[in-house]
Structure 1
Amino acid sequence: MLIKFYSRVNCHLCEDGLLTLRLVQEDIPFTIEIIDIEQDDVLHEKYMLMIPVVEKEGQVVQYGNLDYATLMENLSMNH
């Protein structure tokens, strides 16, 4: 399973979110693709007010202040 993690440099919420996502990854096997929204104008415009954004199969799972319970529940479904 591939999980996309949209973030940008110098985003403390993104750093915290990635740590939370990695904790979930210890319990559920998946690959994290980290995408810097500042490298793509379309992604930057779409996600700049939402980051960090966790996406699974094209669907946003959670964004902003990520929490373990929500990520665990949404990423374990159909895994």
Structure 2
Amino acid sequence: MTKTALLTLYGRAWCHLCDDMRAALAPLLAEFGAQVEIVDVDADPLLEARYNELVPVLVCDGVELCHYHLDVARVRAALAMRVAAAS
């Protein structure tokens, strides 16, 4: 297992909350050496149906960590657990 955590941010191009979450997430990514994959829900009808009104949605290992606004404590805990598990 790799130490680098991969988060998935489901959002859309015209979403200011998505931009805000991506910016707020940057310090945590740097702190934990994590990466984020940005997925545009409008490019996939299934994702759009699932996440439409919830974007942005941040997921780690299949677990939804937060939506609308970054939950720093929850994301930090998830990243710390991922790094600890990889050690």
Normalised to the residue count of structure 2, the TM-score between the two structures is 0.82
Larger radius of gyration: 2
For the residue of structure 1 that corresponds to 2:39, the secondary structure is strand
Q: Aligned residue for 2:31? A: 27
For the residue of structure 2 that corresponds to 1:26, the secondary structure is helix
Structure 2: state its 5+ residue gaps. none
Paired amino acid for 2:53: L
Q: Aligned residue for 1:10? A: 14
Q: Alignment identity in percent?
A: 29
In 2: Cα distance, 1:76 partner to 1:51 partner: 24
Structure 1: state its 5+ residue gaps. none
In 1: Cα distance, 2:77 partner to 2:31 partner: 11
The 10-residue stretch of structure 1 (43-52 or 60-69) with the greater mean CA deviation from structure 2: 60-69
Match for residue 56 of structure 1 among 56, 60, 64: 60
Q: Aligned residue for 2:70? A: 66
In 1: Cα distance, 2:67 partner to 2:81 partner: 18
The structure carrying a bigger helix percent of its residues is 2
Deviation at 1:78, TM superposition (A): 2.8
Normalised to the residue count of structure 1, the TM-score between the two structures is 0.89
Deviation at 1:26, TM superposition (A): 1.5
Q: Verify the 8 A CA contact 2:8 2:60 in the aligned structure 1.
A: yes
Deviation at 1:76, TM superposition (A): 1.8
Name the Cα RMSD after superposition. 1.2
